[in-house]
Amino acid sequence: MDVSTINLPLAVLLPFVGAAVVAWAAHFHRVAAAWLAGITTLLALGVLYPALIAVFAGETLIQSWVWMPAIGLDFAFRLDGLGALFALMILVIGLLVILYARYYLSAKDSMGRFFAYMLTFMGSMLGVVLSENLLQLMVFWELTSLSSFMLISYWQHREDARQGARMALAITGGGGLALLAGILLLGQMVGSYNLSDVLLAGEQIRAHALYLPTLVLIAIGVFTKSAQFPFHFWLPNAMSAPTPVSAYLHSATMVKAGIFLLARFFPVLAGTPEWSWLIGTVGMITLLVGAFVALFQHDLKGLLAYSTISHLGLITLLFGLGTELAAVAALFHIINHATFKASLFMVAGIIDHETGTRDMRRINGLLKYMPHTAVLAMIAAAAMAGVPLLNGFLSKEMFFDQAVVASGESLWGQAIPVMATLAGVFSVAYSLRFIHDVFFNGEPVNLPKMPHEPPPFMRIPVDVLVVLCIAVGMLPMFTVAPLLAVAVQGTLQGVPPEYSLAIWHGFNEPLLMSFIALVGGIAVYAVRKPLFAWYESRVRGQQLRHLYDWKIDKLLQVARGVTRGFDRGSLQDMLFWVLGFTLLMGTAGFLSSAAPLLGERVLLPLDAVSLAVGATLILASLLSVVLHRERLIALVVLGAVGLVVSLAFVKFSAPDLALTQLSVEIVTIVLLMLALYFLPQYTPRTSAVWRKWRDGILAGLLGLGAAVLALAVMTRETATLADYFVTQSVPGGGGANVVNVILVDFRGFDTMGEIAVLALAGLGIFALLQQIKLYAPAEDSSGRAWALEANPFILQTFSRVLFPLMLMVAVFVFLRGHNLPGGGFIAGLIAALAIVLQNLANGIGWTAQRIRSDMHSWLAAGLLVAAGTGMVAMALGYPFLTSAHTHVHWPVVGDFELASAMFFDMGVFLVVVGATVMILVELGKLNRLDAPTPVLQGEV
């Protein structure tokens, strides 16, 4: 494959691969990690080299593949002048930082981890500046936030490192979310997320209704990343990172990502009053706040951090001015700031490394201990202050020039050059402080280490950068000019304006402003002592950082309050919400249509018996609520409710249902009584009065709602499937009992599911009781011991005689089921009842002892028979559960309808018996834990 067609993604992905290799290699040799990181960076540069040549020749390279067309995401890369400028900064400064870090890290720091994170970050940054697709840019953008989190928290054992990293992640990651929204809107407007399309759609975007929200959202992304006011405070807190990280992330790369985006979107979003107001104002405030606060930092890196904020504000302000020349100045300052700030951070790291502190109140007079480093630092700091013949001077002149141009007529306009000069004053003052405090100003105070020059290789990166500062400052046309030109072209996406990089422009306003700044800066520094005192007493406490911490605390409080308030872990609460919402949604459903609540169908006349039955039902239900504290009585009343319901089934000619209901009712009540044995006899009163009222009203309304729903259905005539079932029952299903044919044939699949449910209930209760330890009380609530007398003799005798008879009834009911009321389900329940009766009459222990077969096998057999019946049909080429039936004539018995569904019903029978008996036996076993098996009369 031709490398030149894939070199952009290759360059971006190389550092990621390198990160993995480095992490692995560090296991074998510490320094190998550094070497490999450096080689990776060089390789990326090498891969990019031909593309850079092409860009300098005026081309824009785009390399694109399909990734996720559904969301307009391409795997697409772009290299133009702007990208080239940033890619070079990322790689070249990256290389220097790697060299520096190799000597900076101490023996107990893991090199593998450091360089792996570093390369990950480098790859992410390259991804940001080389992405053609904006969604892909977002991917890399958030990756820079994540990898910077890892880098800042590199010294994980330090609280400030963890906090600083979290803060940086929260702010830049959070800002990334706003940016994402902005980019989504941009894509929505343009119909494409590819920069090539977006860059051409500037006019369309600026005229669009979504322009302002898009601008604001993108600006938030930019401001958070580039540490603009009021999001700037994360940057000083990120200074707890190792200094190479600060030199890389907080001078040349990460914080410049936001600036990069301003440049990237300059042709698209700039040129409107909204842009100038938003970007310009924020840039100006940041410029001033950063320069001002920087002066008062005693931490060397803190000073540099605020100075960085200030310079980022300057660049932002330049872009905010919106003119092409201002953009040129901004780009120029990006380059210059990267060089002098990276070198200054490295110097700060050297000083920290060699003295053991970064406190400028203690580090004094280092000139004689490390003269070489001191010279480098002084040059770089002078560049930062904007001293002539250094690169900072040139771009600062351009900035002052643009400030004057922008001043115009308005009062606000007039203020721009004034404020710019003021910022220049503070900038000179803090640069002066950096030089004077550290290298002069008497002797060092109580340093942990005796300072001396660093290892030579640690200083080389600083040497290189400082030489660049001087070279650009003195010979701009022969050094930076081509790079700047190509970057300008890439940024503006058009013909670049005329600009001059000369050192001398004659006596003009910018020169005057520079002069005022220099003199003013020296004057401010001269009166620093009272200023520091004032700052300490008035300003220091007012930091945004505290506001942020307070907000996060507040957020946590709110989160905990809301969560604990809503999710109390109370069942009553859960049910209140579920039931309340049931009422709400049901009502809302009816109300969202103009349709009448009830239908036209005439209701049946009310007869006395129905009325009585209905009244009993209501009364019994109410009684079970009123009496619910007396659990046994409540249970009996509940049984009455069930009985009345089965009577209702009889009334509406549903004998099968009545039979089922009746037997289910009995089995359930008996099982519940077994369980009651382990529970307190009375429910304590715990609910507050208001709660009872609330729940009572809700219950009443729900009951009413259920009645209305039922009425709404019953007052309407609907053609249902029933007719089909009735007509097909005999010819299709081979049985005259439609209910049974529905259960085992028409909807046999449902029944199979339901017997699985039953089996699961049995198994579940088995499993639950295996792992639960229940201690049955030895006495009742009034302190009386349980009666241990034998069960009534007559009942015992009769029940044992009845047992086979009941089983016969079960068999009978089972066999007739297909044609007459009955069937496997009811038969199973009757058989289970036969055993329940033994329980009641002879005691649980006695019965349980006599049930020898393992009910697991019954359940398995039942399910197998049911499923097997269905599968026989499959074997014969019919769908699962297809039934067959035939009419046979048996001698003696007579005509007999034989349906395959009977086998299925057999399965049902087995499962019903198995599940019921299993529960009985398991509960019975528990009972025996406590009470000894009563000795029965007549027992041998």
Partner 1 sequence: MMHLPILPILLPLLAGILLLLLRPLGLQVQRMVGFVAAFALLMLAVWLFDASLAGQRQVYALGNWPAPFGITLVFDQLAALMLLVTAILAVGALWYAIVTEIDAQGSHFHVLFQMQLFGLNGAFLTGDAFNLFVFFEVLLLASYSLLLHGGGKQRTVAGLHYVVVNLVGSTVFLFALGALYGALGTLNIADMAAKVAALPAEREGLVMAAGLLLLLVFGLKAAMFPLYLWLPAAYARTSAPVAALFAIMTKVGVYAIIRVHGTVFGVDAGNLAYFYAPWLLGLGLITLVLAALGVLAAFRLRFQVAYLVLASVAMLLIAVGLHSEAGLAAALYYLVHSTLLAGGLFLLADVIVRGRGTYADRFDPGMRLPHHALLGGLFMLAAVAALGLPPLSGFFGKLWILQAALEHPWRWAVLATVLISSALLLIALARSGSVLFYKVKDRPDAADPVLPTQIPAFGLSLTAVLWLLAAVPLLVVLAHPVAEIMQQVAAQTLDVVGYRAAVFDPAVGGK
Angle between helices 134-152 and 174-190 (to 10 degrees): 170
Query: What is the smallest separation between the CB atom of 780 and partner 1, expressed in angstroms?
Result: 25
Contact 314, 400 (CB under 8 A): no
* CA-closest candidate to residue 909, choices 844, 861, 870: 861
Residue 430 or residue 725: which is nearer to partner 1 going by CB? 725
Q: Smaller CB distance to partner 1: residue 585 or 794?
A: 585
Position 835, amino acid: I
Please, which residue, 214 or 343, has the CB nearer to partner 1?
Answer: 214
Looking at the Cβ atoms of 2 and 723, the one nearer to partner 1 is 723
Closest approach of Cβ 663 to partner 1, in Å? 20
C-alpha distances out from residue 797 to 788, 791, 793, 806, 939, Å: 19, 10, 6, 14, 11
The SS3 of residue 133 is strand
Q: Report which secondary-structure segment, H or E, holds 78.
A: strand 73-79
Bridge partners of 65? 75
**Separation between Cα atoms, residue 182 and residue 176, nearest integer Å:** 10
Residue 791 CB neighbours (<10 A):
17
Asked if 221 and 182 count as a contact pair (C-beta separation under 8 A), the reply is yes
In the bound complex, what is the minimum distance in angstroms from residue 13's beta carbon to partner 1? 12
Shortest separation between residue 551's beta carbon and partner 1, angstroms: 10
Looking at beta carbons only, is 72 or 365 nearer to partner 1?
72
> In the complex with partner 1, which residue's Cβ is closer, 446 or 718?
718
Side chain identity at residue 791, one-letter code: N
Q: Please state the closest distance from residue 546 (CB atom) to partner 1, in A.
A: 17
Distances (CA, A) of 293 to 7, 232, 309, 535, 536: 44, 12, 10, 9, 11
User: What is the closest distance, in whole angstroms, from the C-beta atom of residue 321 to partner 1 in the complex?
Assistant: 30
Least separation in angstroms between residue 585's CB and partner 1 is 4
* Shortest Å distance, C-beta 6 to partner 1: 17
User: Which C-beta is closer to partner 1: that of 68 or that of 445?
Assistant: 68
Q: Kindly report the backbone phi and psi dihedral angles of residue 880, in degrees, each rounded to the nearest multiple of 5, phi listed first.
A: -50, 135
Q: Which is it for strands 894-899 and 885-890: parallel, antiparallel or unpaired?
A: antiparallel
Nearer to partner 1 among residue 412 and residue 590 (C-beta): 590
Between 456-474 and 371-385, two packed helices, what is the crossing angle to 10 degrees?
40
CA distance 469 to 343: 10
- What residues are paired with 62 via a beta bridge? 78
Distance between CA atoms of residues 345 and 48, nearest Å: 27
Q: Is the dihedral of CA 436, 441, 447, 451 positive or negative?
A: positive
Give the E-state strand segments of 470-629 in sequence order.
none
Nearest distance in Å: CB 751, partner 1: 9
Nearer to partner 1, 76 or 138 (CB): 138
DSSP-assigned beta bridge partners for residue 299: 359
Q: How many Cβ atoms from other residues are within 10 Å of residue 556's Cβ?
A: 10
* Closer residue to partner 1 (CB): 181 or 619: 181
Alpha carbon distance 252, 140 (integer Å): 17
Residue 433 CA: distances (Å) to CA of 427, 729, 762, 854: 10, 100, 82, 90
Q: Are 762 and 915 in contact (CB under 8 A)?
A: yes
Nearer to partner 1, 287 or 744 (CB): 744
- The least distance separating partner 1 from the CB of residue 257, rounded to whole angstroms, comes to 14
End-to-end distance of the chain based on CA atoms, in angstroms? 95
CA distance 255 to 28: 34
Tokens, residue 122: 């480098």
Could you give the CA distance from residue 255 to residue 222 in angstroms, rounded to a whole number? 9
Return the number of the residue (198 or 423) whose C-beta is nearest partner 1.
198
> Least distance from C-beta 224 to partner 1, angstroms?
11
CB 380 → partner 1: shortest distance, Å?
34
Distance of CA 88 to the CA centre of its chain: 35
Closer by beta carbon to partner 1, 446 or else 570? 570
Q: How far is the CB of 55 from partner 1 (least distance, A)?
A: 26
For partner 1, the closer CB: 523 or 562: 562
CB of 573 to partner 1, least distance (A): 7
Residues, the chain: 940
Contact (CB, 8 A) for 210 and 185: yes
Distance (Å, whole) CA 298 – CA 303: 7
Min. distance of Cβ 510 from partner 1 in angstroms? 42
Task: Return the number of the residue (40 or 131) whose C-beta is nearest partner 1.
Answer: 131
Report the distance separating Cα 148 and Cα 167, nearest Å: 11
